[in-house]
Amino acid sequence: MTGRAQASAGDLLELVRSGRATTRGALQQVTGLSRATVGHRLERLFRAGWLREGAGGPVDSPLGGRPSITLEFDDAHAVVLAADLDTRHARAAVLSLTGEILAEHSGVLVVEDGPDAVLGELGRWFAELLEKAGHRADEVCGIGLAVPGPVDTDTGRVVQPPIMPGWDGYDIRGRLARAFTEHTGAPAVPVLVDNDANLMAYGEQRTGHADCSAFVLVKVSTGIGAGVVVDGSVYRGVDGGAGDLGHIRVPAGADALCRCGSYGCLAAVASGGAVARRLAEAGVPAASGSDVRDLLASGHPEAAALARDAGRQVGDVLATVVTLLNPGVLMIAGDLAGTAFLTGVRELLYQRALPRSTAHLHVVTSRLGERAGLVGAGAMVVEHLYAPERVEERLLVLGV
């Protein structure tokens, strides 16, 4: 940004938030703006409540003098709401602008009940969570939602989701914004929607692997999906379909009918739902990936054997993914991310992938666990609302 005389207030905020320039002098040096212009643009950010002064930092002048006052992003001026939908369960939270979970709720919420009912219930959850967290509804700056299906992020609508009947093309943003207003009485706020694996990957990469330039997360629950983060940004493909790992055709699934309507999908033979069906056929009570997870936690031998076999199927496909993307971290998450499944993944992955592709690869499990989608959804909202170009729009609305 050096020499950019047109650097806006939004650009200055981005420099402070990223830590690249945290004093007035450093901002002048990086942007090429005059002291007066930097001061004027910072004043707008102070009036909006988005910046605050911190402690004294390094001396800006090579001639010495008093330490410069550092500038900090004021994360206390607003909060974010986030929710993560699974097929039969959901989790919602109030988060700070830096990703701290301030209040959280989880419970049964069935996506097959349809978007109107599910999103209406989320609105009620949000109202209760804000009260629990001690925050007013007018402090909310945005809402992030993770869903178990492919999303067109330009419109916030899911596109032909195999496990979300009735949601295809539905106006999720509009309905959730209305539900928030109905239950809180506050004006509607921006709503952003993305695939759950994408947001889990975003949350995990930012909080635990920020230095990894190519990060892949594979979620294995009722279905199978993947999120890819490259150079700090989610890779979504041309229309949000990137990472749809569960619908890659595999030889072992030639006779297996997938919920998408096709035969041979990886999800039809290696997802939590597929393992649950095999267990049920063998007389073991299991109806979902979460049931399989509980069986694995209790040391059930048949569940462990089937989970390991599923891991081998997924590992075979991931050998191609790793060879193509050459990630530094491959994270396994979701209901089947336990030891038996992970063992199966490792067996086939290292057997089939080129040694060059796995030489610097770390295969790990989730650090954030069931909160990963919430953290990623919150971060998505913050990065969207405080992007330089959007900061300018919002400052104008605020009249500062």
Write down the pLDDT at residue 2: 45
Residue 64 scores a pLDDT above 60: no
pTM, 2 dp: 0.92
Residue 265 scores a pLDDT above 50: yes
- Confidence tier at 66 by pLDDT (50, 70, 90): low
Average pLDDT over residues 260-278: 93
Question: Same fold for the domain at 9-73 and the one at 210-368?
Answer: no
Please write the tens of the pLDDT for every residue from 381-397.
Answer: 999 999 999 999 999 99
Q: Which helix (H) or strand (E) holds 264?
A: none
Question: Are 274 and 224 within 8 A, CB to CB?
Answer: no
Enter the tokens of residue 57. 């930092």
Write down the pLDDT at residue 339: 80
Q: Which residues contact 64 (CB under 8 A, 6 or more apart)?
A: none
Average pLDDT over residues 101-128: 97
Please write the tens of the pLDDT for every residue from 21-34.
Answer: 999 999 999 999 99
- Confidence tier at 241 by pLDDT (50, 70, 90): confident
Question: Which position has the higher pLDDT, 139 or 338?
Answer: 139
Write down the pLDDT at residue 61: 53
Average pLDDT over residues 269-295: 92
Cα 341 to Cα 333: distance, rounded to the nearest angstrom: 11
Question: Are 195 and 309 within 8 A, CB to CB?
Answer: no
What CATH number belongs to 210-368?
3.30.420.40
Write down the pLDDT at residue 58: 57
Cα 221 to Cα 208: distance, rounded to the nearest angstrom: 22
Q: Look at the chain and count its residues.
A: 400
Write down the pLDDT at residue 144: 98
Q: Enumerate the domain spans of the chain.
A: 9-73, 79-198+373-398, 210-368
Question: Are 318 and 344 within 8 A, CB to CB?
Answer: no
- Confidence tier at 62 by pLDDT (50, 70, 90): low
What are the residues facing 299 on neighbouring strands? none
Q: What share of the chain in percent tops pLDDT 70?
A: 96
Cα 343 to Cα 239: distance, rounded to the nearest angstrom: 33
> Could you tell me which of 199, 196, 193 has the C-alpha nearest to residue 176?
193
79-198+373-398 is a CATH 3.30.9.10 domain: no
Q: What are phi and psi of 6, to 5 degrees?
A: -90, 5
| CATH topology classification for 9-73 | Arc Repressor Mutant, subunit A (1.10.10)
Distance of CA 276 to the CA centre of its chain: 26
Residue 60 scores a pLDDT above 70: no
What are the residues facing 195 on neighbouring strands? 147
Mean pLDDT of all residues in the chain?
Answer: 93
- Confidence tier at 3 by pLDDT (50, 70, 90): very low
Write down the pLDDT at residue 185: 97
